[in-house]
Chains A and B, each alone.
Chain A
């Protein structure tokens, strides 16, 4: 597991000087594309979630030709749609002490000092414009009685800066972006390609110039050329099999870009969300998240006695351990996600877990119902309570919810510079697919903010800077690079179909997911990680020998689509383990058992690990090369996160 390390090869490229004026200065210094020339450029945008949909619409508004791709039947279904809780913005409407600086500070601290300061500051600045934009689009955010926008506090924040639309904020923001996108489709400036899966990136003379897609409705491989490519294909939590992500969310497009030369940064930074409905049986296909806003009023506890099987109503108050309130008196149930998840796991590992599997803790609303009244609780959380009851057949009004952590969001992703450009010139990466803003842990309600910031307010400027130095109008899909990429894709598909083995892709995926969850989940340990990388390699070899894929390549074949994604999880899965093995510290989501305090708190090693770990594909999956980008903290004082 010893890897070659390269220092000094990566630079964010953000300008020097005062952080507060950095983005303004950078916008001024970047080159512009003449308005009359914009229509000569074509840009490929892959993905139609908050980042991709916003980018495609905005680039088209500026006058570029946009080709926009998604795997779903319509752009309105991208998984951003499922975000419940809200979106942060430093508006300070409640007058409770928020500011751009505080949002910046909270995000850097929340990420356990493993994010790039400059990117995070810009994100906090853009947050303000996002809310304006979304309201102008007609997003029906919650309102106060005076007609002003309502805010609530959300996991890990001590100010109320979260804007929301019931429990469907992601849906409403996505429909806003989707509307803008559809407007550009109607205007003829965006060409929309649905049911297309990007299976390779085409690099011509070192620059990203196109993609190979499989038309999922017909099975045909298609070539698309452009002057630049923007990738906004989301995260890779689905590598863990059970996650809160949609069943079609996958890592394939990003991973194929990695194999074409884009470095993959911090792959082991995977967020495990504390408030999900526990696993009920082996046939389960995904885990369902309950918005973290529930922690505003719900109290988390386990019985004080190990293996206590009494129903919760029969466990008296003094026999309950409200472990978050006990361990973190100042933040209580509102500690950041990584801290809450880990505490729940610890309680269950020590035998205090509840429910049939013992892998759950209670989230109890009885006190809130007494304090606020049932109607008020219903107004705030009714849809979430209904969802819980649909799944579990239990009413949270009557009995505490049972919750357990689940893989949810990946802070890691393709490495990008300050301009969101990857290590392949012309390939820009947006939203969850990049690594840039959340460090080792993402705060609640910050994913929507980042996706929309990248799409509406960052890429429209920074892409122009790249295109200004690029000759417009590349459209040669007969370039040998397209032949090579298509042959590569076809080879993988043929290999999957030819194996005709005995195990289904789902069975392999399940095994891989268990390996990752057990060893690269909420706690990690060096020897276990080494063995896991080994086991993943072995299982991957077996996969290619023994997988059984039904049907053919020349038709709509969901089984083949899935098998291709699983094949990529196996490659990415090994890199996750290797990355976790090589980061000899604990930070945010990455808790190494060999680097913790006696109380189980993470111990960072800022001297040796205050860097981004960006992995280069060398042609040998087991010998990735590590490029370290040093993180500089000039504005936020490095400190031990303390939520006590």
Chain B
């Protein structure tokens, strides 16, 4: 812990938009007395308290667990999804990363498939609809064999876990010039492709999820690699290669 903490002040430019139908704009705010050890979201909490006290409307933003695992939070900070520190969610970002007095621009994750709900909150239900089409193993409760009946090597389990670590925040989409969801979809496809449990539905899954991804208005991948850099869980772009191979394979087999 730092001794005799000195608080900081910031100039903020924050996207305000009352609802999906209205036009939004950047509004300037100043926030003072910020504890440098507080998180970016706690800085916004602090701003909101001062706004409410002044009779103004607080800034709407999404967050929940505030420990980097639920995937609810996520804003663009100076143009970067989740801000300047790599492999970190917005809730994990600390204000000590920002020098005293600097201007910080805060915007929602932008993509056609993520319409703005209010201010910094976007609608990411398109992700759910992609998963609905096949991002699972179809097994009813009660019908499973003994868990150790199917040995899985540590390498395989670790590899699957690397993909399964996705928190569904949408930073990959927001960072992509094409607003592609390929990293998100690829991570789920790859987890299920590696694990033997996913094998039975492999073909159907790849076709259905890709079809839904397209229908939601996500763009295609053109190998910019921004998604991997923006991903708070460091999900590798290799997952997109897997997605493509799985889709091609499925297309030839169907």
Query: A136 to B145, Cβ gap below 8 A?
Result: yes
Give the interface centre of B45, B67, B128 by most chain A CB atoms within 10 Å.
B67
Query: B161 to A165, Cβ gap below 8 A?
Result: yes
Give the interface centre of B5, B35, B60, B70 by most chain A CB atoms within 10 Å.
B70
Task: Pick from A276-284, A420-428, A429-437 the stretch touching chain B.
Answer: A276-284
Query: A246 to B60, Cβ gap below 8 A?
Result: no
Query: B128 to A74, Cβ gap below 8 A?
Result: yes
Contact of A247 among B66, B152, B197 (CB under 8 A): B66
Q: How far is the CB of B104 from chain A (nearest CB, A)?
A: 17
Contact of B161 among A91, A140, A144 (CB under 8 A): A140
Query: B137 to A136, Cβ gap below 8 A?
Result: yes
Query: B151 to A392, Cβ gap below 8 A?
Result: no
- Give chain B interface residues in 62-100, CB to chain A under 8 Å: 62-72, 88, 92, 94, 96
**Which residues on A are within 8 Å of B, measured CB to CB?**
54, 57-58, 61, 72-77, 79, 81-82, 91, 93, 129, 131-138, 140-149, 165-166, 168, 170-172, 175-176, 178-180, 182-183, 185-186, 192, 194, 217, 246-249, 280-286, 288-289, 355-356, 387, 390-393, 456-457, 460, 504, 506, 548, 550-551, 555-556, 558-559
Query: B52 to A550, Cβ gap below 8 A?
Result: yes
In Å, the complex CA distance between A81 and B141 comes to: 20
User: Does chain A have a CB within 8 A of B124?
Assistant: yes
In Å, the complex CA distance between A34 and B96 comes to: 62
> Given A182-B136, A186-B133 in contact, is the A550-B147 Cβ separation under 8 Å?
no
- Give chain B interface residues in 226-246, CB to chain A under 8 Å: none
Q: How far is the CB of B251 from chain A (nearest CB, A)?
A: 21
> Given A182-B132, A280-B37, A281-B5 in contact, is the A81-B195 Cβ separation under 8 Å?
no
Query: A179 to B145, Cβ gap below 8 A?
Result: no
> Given A73-B72, A74-B168, A82-B70 in contact, is the A61-B151 Cβ separation under 8 Å?
no
> Given A165-B161, A280-B1 in contact, is the A133-B141 Cβ separation under 8 Å?
yes
Query: A504 to B52, Cβ gap below 8 A?
Result: yes
In Å, the complex CA distance between A176 and B137 comes to: 9
Give every chain B residue within 8 A of A551 (Cβ-Cβ).
57-58
> Given A81-B70, A551-B57 in contact, is the A556-B19 Cβ separation under 8 Å?
yes
User: Does chain A have a CB within 8 A of B165?
Assistant: yes
The residue of chain A having its C-beta at the shortest distance from the C-beta of B165 within the complex is A168
Query: B69 to A168, Cβ gap below 8 A?
Result: yes
- Give chain B interface residues in 135-193, CB to chain A under 8 Å: 135-148, 150-154, 156-158, 160-161, 164-165, 167-168, 191-192
User: Does chain A have a CB within 8 A of B11?
Assistant: no
Query: A129 to B164, Cβ gap below 8 A?
Result: no
User: Does chain A have a CB within 8 A of B117?
Assistant: yes
> Given A79-B65, A138-B192, A556-B118 in contact, is the A506-B96 Cβ separation under 8 Å?
no
Query: A166 to B161, Cβ gap below 8 A?
Result: yes
Query: B65 to A246, Cβ gap below 8 A?
Result: yes
Query: A180 to B141, Cβ gap below 8 A?
Result: yes
User: Does chain A have a CB within 8 A of B198?
Assistant: yes
Give the interface centre of B48, B124, B137 by most chain A CB atoms within 10 Å.
B137
Give every chain B residue within 8 A of A248 (Cβ-Cβ).
64
User: Does chain A have a CB within 8 A of B121?
Assistant: yes
Give the interface centre of A129, A246, A506 by most chain B CB atoms within 10 Å.
A246
User: Does chain A have a CB within 8 A of B6?
Assistant: no
Query: B66 to A246, Cβ gap below 8 A?
Result: yes
Query: B191 to A143, Cβ gap below 8 A?
Result: no
Give every chain A residue within 8 A of B141 (Cβ-Cβ).
54, 57-58, 61, 133, 180, 456-457, 460
Query: A182 to B128, Cβ gap below 8 A?
Result: yes
User: Does chain A have a CB within 8 A of B127?
Assistant: yes
Contact of B191 among A77, A138, A288 (CB under 8 A): A138
Q: A72-B72, A166-B165, A390-B88 are known; give 5 further A-B pairs, CB within 8 A.
A: A249-B64, A387-B92, A456-B142, A504-B52, A558-B58
In Å, the complex CA distance between A72 and B42 comes to: 19
User: Does chain A have a CB within 8 A of B112?
Assistant: no
In Å, the complex CA distance between A507 and B157 comes to: 46
Give every chain B residue within 8 A of A456 (Cβ-Cβ).
141-142
Contact of B157 among A143, A247, A289 (CB under 8 A): A143
The residue of chain B having its C-beta at the shortest distance from the C-beta of A84 within the complex is B69
Query: B195 to A286, Cβ gap below 8 A?
Result: no
Give every chain B residue within 8 A of A134 (Cβ-Cβ).
147
Give every chain A residue within 8 A of B250 (Cβ-Cβ).
none
- Give chain B interface residues in 184-228, CB to chain A under 8 Å: 191-192, 195, 197-198
Give every chain B residue within 8 A of A132 (Cβ-Cβ).
144-147
Q: How far is the CB of B235 from chain A (nearest CB, A)?
A: 13
Contact of A81 among B3, B69, B117, B158 (CB under 8 A): B69
The residue of chain B having its C-beta at the shortest distance from the C-beta of A71 within the complex is B64
Q: How far is the CB of A387 from chain B (nearest CB, A)?
A: 7
Query: B136 to A91, Cβ gap below 8 A?
Result: no
Contact of A285 among B41, B123, B167, B198 (CB under 8 A): B41
In Å, the complex CA distance between A144 and B153 comes to: 7
Give every chain B residue within 8 A of A61 (Cβ-Cβ).
140-141
Query: A504 to B94, Cβ gap below 8 A?
Result: no
Query: B157 to A137, Cβ gap below 8 A?
Result: no
| Nearest 8 A/B pairs, CB to CB | A147-B151, A179-B136, A136-B144, A132-B144, A135-B147, A140-B160, A246-B64, A140-B161
Query: B152 to A73, Cβ gap below 8 A?
Result: no
Give every chain A residue within 8 A of B164 (Cβ-Cβ).
140, 165, 172, 175
Query: B37 to A143, Cβ gap below 8 A?
Result: no
Give every chain B residue within 8 A of A166 (Cβ-Cβ).
161, 165
Query: B197 to A73, Cβ gap below 8 A?
Result: no
Listed A/B pairs (12) with beta-carbon separation below 8 Å: A57-B141, A58-B140, A61-B141, A81-B69, A133-B139, A136-B145, A138-B137, A140-B161, A143-B154, A147-B151, A283-B34, A456-B142
